[in-house]
Amino acid sequence: MGGGSCGGGGGASSPCASCKLLRRRCAKDCIFAPYFPPDDPHKFAIVHKVFGASNVSKMLQEIPVHQRGDAVSSLVYEANARMRDPVNGCVGAISYLQNQVSQLQLQLAVAQAEILRLQQQHAAIILPTAAQLYCRGGDDDHKPRVSSPLVMSSSASQAAAANMGAAALTNFGSLQPLQY
């Protein structure tokens, strides 16, 4: 992460945010220096306030070097969440987002049901009208009746609308609920 190098070497470089906050000399092998650069003191201050410098130092020493940057990012995120919500921390944020997803899934289900209802209503209105348009004939001039594959009886159009509804419900049924 950060590129702050720690003290030592004649005081040419500034101490890391940790050593600056704790008012101590920053050694060359300071465990905080790579992750808490001097130009971002708030980052260490909030982690120190929530977890304590000693605990963070112990955690970082137990973690492989290549994973420490990610661990510090997580600690900073969790510390910020804990400051916003002292009781629940990041669990509160996760719970809030899961509830929001559930509400949106419910809204989606209601919208899909409304679409299905409107499609069925539209099919029930349009298909008999189409049948009336295409089935004219048999008047006094002895014109032949025109038959079309689009022509359906009223009961056939209702059956088609019901089949559309069943297909839509089948597709909607494939949604899986969230696992917590």
pLDDT in tens, 22-78: 999 999 889 999 999 999 999 999 999 999 999 999 999 999 999 999 999 999 999
Domain-wise residue ranges, the chain: 17-84, 91-172
What residues contact 178, with CB distance under 8 A and at least 6 apart?
98, 101, 102, 105
> φ and ψ at 79, to 5 degrees?
-65, -45
Tokens found for residue 123: 């099919």
Confidence of residue 13 (pLDDT cuts 50, 70, 90): confident
- The confidence score (pLDDT) of residue 150 equals 45
Would you say the pTM of this structure is higher than 0.75?
no
What residues contact 110, with CB distance under 8 A and at least 6 apart?
none
- The confidence score (pLDDT) of residue 180 equals 47
SS3 at position 31: coil
Over residues 21-36, the pLDDT tens digits come to: 999 999 988 999 999 9
- The confidence score (pLDDT) of residue 123 equals 84
Residue 85 buriedness (CB in 10 A; 0-12 / 13-18 / 19+)? middle
- The confidence score (pLDDT) of residue 124 equals 82
Tokens found for residue 153: 């009886």
